[in-house]
Amino acid sequence: MNYNNFPKIEIDNKKLLYLGLALAAVLLVILSLSVYFSRSIPGHDKSPVATPPHDFLNGVNLEAKSVIVWDIKNQTVIYEKNADEKLPLASIAKVMMALTAIELFPDNTVVNIDRRFLEEEGDTGLFANEKWRLKDLVDFALVVSSNDAAAAIASLPSLQQVDNHNLDLGRAEFIFKMNEGAKRIGLEQTSFYSENGLDTNGEVSGAYGSARDVAKLFEFVLRNNPEILEATKYSQVELLSLNNISHRLHNTNQISGSIPSLLASKTGFTDLSGGNLAIVFDPAIGRPVVIVVLGSTYDGRFTDVSELSNRILGLLSSQE
């Protein structure tokens, strides 16, 4: 074969150099983008501790039917027990009530305490025709788990109509918005039938959800509207209505003062739900952890959460 008959290929060294530089630039861009997007994935850049040792709860007898301990920073479950079981939420439902209200109504909204709201179960010290800034009344509802305050807030859609407003119609619209919000957040086991979570009768609760969903809800609020839960980290707060009436409130979370770096909390208790409690605390700087216990007893919810928070503190300190 005579290779001299083939056409000769002239190689331009300068063009070859430019081509090599262009390929190197493309590879550099691809590498940079892959690093960027990997860091953008929640929980990709994990700090140590996520899987507890097998004896994490050795010697502890939790009363709760359902438990989850959720590491927000690492997006990791530290501990769970029946975390997807759908159970009555009781007043933990008020966290969704608060989020819905803050999202729906302007900051300058004024809420009047209609006498009919005071017919709700429990007396937390509100007065008929007392007027409140919306955010202050939300704090009131969450800190002392006020059903009266929750009813007033949930009736805002009907109260926006000047004449012949229907309180029940307004609350139904508000509860519908609560359920829409739950779906948007991705709370797969959660449904609301009232704004306060009270049992509607001896067999049906006012709200249902799982411990995992509650943890998701608390994380969502802390990421997007942290001011909603700000007041719930204190043992007591003092709020002033627009009538200049001062209310000193004691947190229904009896252990709020004993959990270090508490960021948020909410209690719940009814005959159907038993004792519920959800908290978020920061056992290490920038390391928020959610603890949710459902279906415990009235006192057991506090001992359950205390024990879990102490174990988390011990776990983190041992790995520093």
Rounded-to-integer distance, Cα 161 and Cα 176, Å:
18
pLDDT grade for 320, boundaries at 50, 70 and 90:
low
Residue 291 has pLDDT above 60, yes or no: yes
- Rounded Cα distance between 100 and 181, Å, is 7
Closest among 245, 252, 121 to 195, alpha carbons compared: 121
Instruction: Report CA torsion sign: 194, 200, 204, 209.
Output: positive
Structure confidence at residue 314 as a pLDDT band (50, 70, 90):
confident
CA distance 78 to 52: 6
Q: pTM value?
A: 0.82
pLDDT tens digit sequence for 177-214? 999 999 999 999 999 999 999 999 889 999 999 999 99
Q: What is the mean pLDDT of residues 153-170?
A: 68
- Please report which helix (H) or strand (E) contains residue 243, including its range: none
Q: Is the model's pLDDT at 10 over the cut of 80?
A: no
Q: What is the pLDDT of residue 14?
A: 55
Structure confidence by residue, pLDDT tens digits, 107-136: 889 999 999 889 878 788 999 999 999 999
End-to-end CA distance of the chain: 74
Of the candidates 247, 166, 167, 200, the one whose C-alpha atom is nearest the C-alpha of residue 93 is: 200
Q: How many CB atoms lie within 10 A of CB 307?
A: 17
Report the share of the chain in percent with pLDDT over 90: 68
Identify the pLDDT of residue 6: 37
pLDDT of residue 44 exceeding 70, the answer is no
160 or 133: which leads in pLDDT: 133
Among residues 86, 87, 96, 296, which one has the least CA distance to residue 196?
96
Q: What single letter denotes the amino acid at residue 111?
A: V
Question: Residues 236-270: pLDDT tens digits?
Answer: 999 999 999 999 999 999 999 999 999 999 999 99
Cβ within 8 Å of residue 140, ≥6 positions away: 124, 126, 132, 146, 149, 239, 247, 249
Q: At what angle do helices 93-104 and 211-224 cross, to 10 degrees?
A: 30
Segment 80-84 shows an average pLDDT of 96
On average, the pLDDT of the chain sits at: 85
Cα R_g (the chain), whole angstroms: 27
Give the separation between CA 296 and CA 250, rounded to whole angstroms. Answer: 22
pLDDT of 25: 59
Work out the pLDDT band at 227, boundaries 50, 70, 90.
Answer: very high
**Whole-number pLDDT of residue 160:** 54
Domain boundaries along the sequence of the chain: 66-318
CATH class for the domain made up of 66-318: alpha beta
| Calpha distance 134→153 (Å, rounded) | 8
Cα angle: 80, vertex 82, 84; to 5 degrees: 100
